[in-house]
Structure 1
Amino acid sequence: MICIRKIISQKFVASESQEYGMYMKDGLVYTITEQTRSEIKIKRSTFIGTISPAHTVEDAEQFVDSIRTEFSDATHNCFAYRINENLFRYYDDGEPSNTAGKPILAMLDKYRLHETVLVVTRYFGGTKLGVGGLIQAYSQCAEETIQKAKRIPLVHYQRFRIRYPYQLNKQMEYWVTQFEGRIEKSEFEADITSIIAIPEEHAASFQEQLASNGKHSIQIIQLSDD
């Protein structure tokens, strides 16, 4: 016998000030593993790129604020982030319109980066670059920063709390491995209760596999997406 219950997860609702756009899916998307920084100099101006994972808008905005604090004496702290296909933001921070934030976002999209924020800090060196020069400079700094970072495929997981008898322990481990998941935590009492994460693309098949086991009682509670 199998019992399945679902807990509906809350979805983030963006404010009107945030910018949205469609991003074409074409194969895998990626994120980065850790904060990375690079620096270039163009006509005496210094450009410092800092990239970081950002799983939510709040993560991205907090990271931008931290860079603004770190480089509070900079001329500009321009940035872009993309959380998913539809949720992104870019900001020129005083540079001419679309010469900084938008080129940074274009580089995130070129490398198919989601859940990622990139800030390019500029210390003005006294020589104006012009519109074309600014676009090239911010693009170059953003791209070099991305290339320096470690990129990995972005996988979203569906989490389940599953209660099952001890005799299914090895079988459960096999099923989790079969569906490219992981057991994050287990409690051993009268039965085993585990928090199990399964890639979203395999979550339905994983539940079907458990449901096909008619000999033992398994209780599944679907938790939030990650």
Structure 2
Amino acid sequence: MTRFTLDKVCKNTLEIKKSQFITWLIPINDQQSNKQEVKDYIQQAKNEYPDARHHCWAYIMGANPNSMTAAMSDDGEPSGTAGKPMLNVLQHKPVDNILAIVIRYFGGIKLGAGGLVRAYSQAVEQCFSIADLVPVIEKHTLTVQVPFSDEQWLRHHVEKNEGDIINTQYSDLVTIEISLPKSNFNVIKESLNSRSYVYKLADD
């Protein structure tokens, strides 16, 4: 199955029985150890809507649905009525590395536990219906050492095969860290082998 990610932040507002549910769907970094980005977005929501009753959220980092990291918060709503249904929607979408925030303005009419579950689920689902999704391109990361004379040759091949130079270090040789689509890896591999250059894959 093709995996997707969000092309950009998507926002939508849903009104149910005079309560407003303002939803943000946000693409996030997949670095498992760094959750500061998530905290910053949640704080941004609180800053932009300081008078809202609730700022509920859920996120998945990594390959959904077998994600290594997932979390959620009801932010004052009855336990299990906001963050959990939001996360459930995320887990059933073919989308990786995503944060959902739903900001609720209470309209004076209580929805009940079942009504809240449906409302938060619907808020996220509706935002997904207008979100721009792009396919996830699986990539290899490799490190190569080449003489100075072949640095530009290698950079040209990387660019030609839709790769990116992540890092470059200079000593007796030039050490270049490369990220490129897995579908183009064999082309680079053959070019390196033709000049007897050794490479190391980060995911070996």
TM-score, structure 2 as length reference: 0.76
Distance, in Å, in 1 between the alignment partners of 2:167 and 2:121 is 43
C-alpha contact 1:175 1:206 (8 A) present in aligned 2: no
The corresponding residue for 2:26 is 52
C-alpha contact 1:30 1:153 (8 A) present in aligned 2: yes
The corresponding residue for 2:94 is 112
Distance, in Å, in 2 between the alignment partners of 1:77 and 1:167 is 54
The corresponding residue for 1:74 is 52
Structure 1 residues 80, 206: closer, same or farther in 2, change over 3 A? farther
Distance, in Å, in 2 between the alignment partners of 1:208 and 1:45 is 57
Query: Structure 2 matches for 1:163-178, cutoff 5 A?
Result: 163-165=145-147, 166=149, 173-174=156-157
1:104-157 residue CA offsets vs partner (Å, 9 max, x unmatched):
111112222221111000000011111221111111111111222211223454
Query: RMSD of the alignment, in Å?
Result: 3.3
Report deviation, 1:86. Answer: 2.0
C-alpha contact 2:157 2:188 (8 A) present in aligned 1: no
Distance, in Å, in 1 between the alignment partners of 2:68 and 2:183 is 19
C-alpha contact 1:31 1:152 (8 A) present in aligned 2: yes
Report deviation, 1:58. Answer: 2.1
Query: Structure 2 matches for 1:175-214, cutoff 5 A?
Result: 181-183=163-165, 194-199=176-181, 209=190, 212-213=193-194
Report deviation, 1:30. Answer: 2.2
1:6-52 residue CA offsets vs partner (Å, 9 max, x unmatched):
xxxxxxxxxxxxxxxxxxxxx33322122221001110000100111
Moved more, 108-117 or 88-97: 108-117
C-alpha contact 1:34 1:53 (8 A) present in aligned 2: yes
Distance, in Å, in 2 between the alignment partners of 1:77 and 1:124 is 12
Structure 1 residues 222, 171: closer, same or farther in 2, change over 3 A? closer
Partner amino acid, structure 1, of 2:3: V
Report deviation, 1:161. Answer: 4.6
Q: SS at the partner of 1:112?
A: coil
Aligned residues: 194
The corresponding residue for 2:41 is 63
Distance, in Å, in 1 between the alignment partners of 2:86 and 2:46 is 17
C-alpha contact 2:59 2:72 (8 A) present in aligned 1: yes
Partner amino acid, structure 2, of 1:79: W
C-alpha contact 2:23 2:124 (8 A) present in aligned 1: yes
Name stretches of at least 5 consecutive residues in structure 2 with no aligned partner. Answer: none
Distance, in Å, in 1 between the alignment partners of 2:130 and 2:174 is 43
Query: Structure 2 matches for 1:112-131, cutoff 5 A?
Result: 112-131=94-113
Partner amino acid, structure 1, of 2:55: N
The corresponding residue for 2:9 is 35
1:74-117 residue CA offsets vs partner (Å, 9 max, x unmatched):
01111100002121001111111211111111111222222111
Name stretches of at least 5 consecutive residues in structure 1 with no aligned partner. Answer: 1-26
Given candidates 23, 42, 61, the residue that maps to 1:83 is 61
Partner amino acid, structure 2, of 1:62: D
1:140-183 residue CA offsets vs partner (Å, 9 max, x unmatched):
111111222211223454444534354685577457756x6344
C-alpha contact 1:82 1:113 (8 A) present in aligned 2: no
The corresponding residue for 1:12 is none
Relative contact order higher in (CA < 8 Å, ≥ 6 apart): 1
Q: SS at the partner of 2:77?
A: coil
